[in-house]
Structure 1
Amino acid sequence: MPVEAINRPDAEDLSALDVKPSRELEGANHLLDDHAALERFYEDNGYILLRGVFDSDAVAAARDEMLAVAVKLGLVEPGDESGRWTGTPLPGSMEESPLYAGIARKLIEHPVNLAVMEKVLGEPACAVPIVQYRTYPPGGPVTVVHQDGFYSPGIQDYKPVWVVLTPCTRDMGGLALAIGQNKRGYFHNVGKPSPYPFPRDAVPDDAWATTDYMPGDVLIVHPYTPHCGLANQSDRLRISFDSRVQSAANPSAVAATVKAVTPNSVTVDAEGLGERTFVVDENSFIRVVHPGVREKFDGFADYTKPGMRLVVVRDGDRAVMLRKAAEG
């Protein structure tokens, strides 16, 4: 029976440290020129893994840009393309640091790579202005088990994209996915506070899979697929980012600057749309202050300020989601 929602305040939580993948992810390069077959694989399994499809020079350029930030932070030595960790601690949350701005978008929108994304979507693609960058050292952050669609409602036909920029063997903490679990609804436990962790028994232990990832590989994760980053037990940084792609002709998510706010609306200057006013209500998924925390609707006009850069996910003139922008 499909899981529509979970509300179990007394349930034991599922940690990424509990995930022990026993299965191997399958490559789907052979389906890339058959969109219907590729989409069936995606819906059946909850992911698409494409090996070595991104332009190698563009991947190397993105790697060098991310490593340059790591050098600036003292995490790696200059000139070390392997990303071997110096032992310097990661300085707090860096996933959406402006130091990385533009790296992901430039890589995804390279003509060779954008052609791959067009085959994945079945139509011309563009980047969603949401990116998280990972330069995770050994013993560093471990992402919670989650489903991207739970935190990003309303983006129609978008596909989350995960890319590694240096070799990411299993000991480095690559992504693990629960195969075929994308067909059972959301597992996030709304009986617990944000980030609404999964109950420990929600996902079968034998559903989890991973692989060794290489630069140029692209992993497309279904918005309903449970997944997490595993612990980095190597001596190198895990250099990767995750973004999303959507229809270029009919994008649901747009980057915008807040112009004015009322208790029930937000007026923005939106890229490609101009100045627009959107209705905001108690069902809007609001996280404009911190991208990982849903804010309460009460007080919306107090904490949403003119000048903020947001991602607006729209359905007509209603804001389905408002999120602090990370424009990649």
Structure 2
Amino acid sequence: MNVMQSYTESTDLVMDGTALAERLARDGYLFIRGLVPTDAVENVGHQFLDVVAQGGWLDPDHPKRSRIANRNIVCADPEPEFLQVFRRFYLSEDSHALKHHPNIVGLFERIFDEEVLVHPLFVARNIFPQKEKLTTRPHQDFVHIQGTAETFTVWLPLHDCPREMGGLAVAEGSHRQGVHDFTVASGAGGLEVTAPFDGQWRFGDFAVGDALIFHSMMVHKGMDNKTKKIRHSIDARYQRVSEPISEVSMANYSGCGDWEEIYGNWKTDDLKYYWRKQNPDVQPYDFQYYDRRDDIAFKMAEDGNDTARAALLRIVQRDPRAEKRARATDLLDRLEA
């Protein structure tokens, strides 16, 4: 049995930018307890709960803050019924403000020793319990976000997250070998890295306010949520302002509205289009990795393999090329026939 080791904690290094940078270069991740104040995180977490409660995703026979899931409803990104509810969370001004918290930005200022670019795009996660098929498979963020490889994700659960609720595991040192081979999978991202990384996985419990920070090439995966509760978290990303960013990271999350819609009911203008003052070097998106994923998904779907469904939905919703969308739509119809 392959028992996962616990994260190496870096809380004691939080004010030492040089030491943090050295550990990131060595391990590919940092685990820092209490990085963000509890009240700031819980405020956003409660707003997320309000959204999913209105969508019927919580069990009406339990208090909302118990987080107990409605067992009659299970859906996942990028299914339309999921996004219909999920997109409401992105209208929250506080959810966008959280990624700008001075404790996070200040940490990266010390690590980078220069101005920080907070990615406009952030990702919220809603993980239903006891649905292992929907658990996020091992993958690398770089394949999806591109830009500079020296981009770092902050994974922040919006509530206490003990091991039995899942959370995130990282394969220590896996960021040093570039892009790993992958295949198509169900769950977030629609793909998974094929190497097992035995002996390299690190995992642990989170209290609200704890943060896991990792390199864009770090292989990481969701862990099965074995409780009865929905798990909520956000992924926010950071890089040096002097390095390139992909156009995909300049937009809001796909299917969840454009910036004018997002900003519609905000009370302040402070964070609206904040990146324009920094004049980032925005580069076109390179579809080479998605083209590889899509070729695999098309073949799987033609063979009747439903595992291709998540990748096909992503093509239909997000690929700018009409011929690809048409082929994916046809194959989805065949799978659902």
Q: With structure 1 as the length reference, what TM-score do the two structures score? A: 0.68
Aligned to 2:302: none
2:30 is aligned to 48
Q: Residue 99 in 1 paired to residue 88 in 2?
A: yes
Which of residues 100, 116, 121 in structure 2 aligns to 1:125? Answer: 116
Rate the CA distance shift 1:30–1:138 in 2: closer, same or farther, 3 A: same
- The equivalent residue for 1:230 is 223
Match of 1:206 in 2: 199
Q: Distance in 2 between matches of 1:222 and 1:271?
A: 22
What SS is found at the alignment partner of 2:105? helix
The residue correspondences of 1:94-173 to structure 2 (distance < 5 A) are 94=82, 97-101=86-90, 102=92, 103-140=94-131, 141-155=134-148, 157-173=150-166
Q: Are residues 56 and 189 of structure 1, via their aligned partners in 2, closer, same or farther at CA, if it must alter by over 3 Å?
A: closer
Equivalent position to 1:188, from 175, 181, 201: 181
Distance of 1:82 and 1:120 partners within structure 2: 37
Q: Is the 8 A contact 1:105 1:127 kept in 2?
A: no
SS in 1 for 2:216: coil
Gaps of 5+ in 2: 252-257, 259-272, 294-310, 326-337
Identity of aligned residues (%): 24
Q: Say yes or no: does 1:37 pair with 2:19.
A: yes
Distance 1:92 1:281 in 2: 26
Counterpart AA for 2:54 = K
- Aligned-residue Cα RMSD (Å) equals 3.9
Q: Distance in 2 between matches of 1:282 and 1:233?
A: 35
Q: 1:158 offset after TM fit, Å?
A: 1.8
Provide the C-alpha distance between the structure 2 equivalents of 1:138 and 1:248, rounded to a whole number of angstroms.
38
3-state secondary structure, aligned to 1:37: helix
Higher helix proportion (structure 1 or 2): 2
Residue 313 (structure 1) aligns with: none
1:68 aligns with 2:68: no
* Mapped partners of 1:222, 1:292: distance in 2: 27
Local SS of the residue matching 1:54:
coil
Shift of 1:62: 0.7
Give the letter for the 2:65 counterpart.
Answer: E
Is the counterpart of residue 197 in structure 1 residue 201 in structure 2?
no
Indicate conservation of the 8 Å contact 2:14/2:20, yes or no. yes
Matched residues, number: 269
For residues 291 and 243 of structure 1, the distance between their equivalents in structure 2, rounded to whole angstroms, comes to: 25
TM-score (norm 2): 0.66
Which amino acid is 1:221 matched to? Answer: F
Following the alignment from structure 1 to structure 2, what is the Cα–Cα distance between the partners of residues 277 and 84?
42
Q: Residue by residue, what CA displacement relative to the aligned partner does 1:178-234 show, whole Å, maximum 9, x if unpaired?
A: 112222222223799x955333xx233211110001110111111121110011101
> For the structure 1 residues 122 and 176, does the alpha-carbon distance in structure 2 shift closer, same or farther, using more than 3 Å as the test?
same
Change (3 A) 1:184 1:221: same
Partner of 2:70: 86
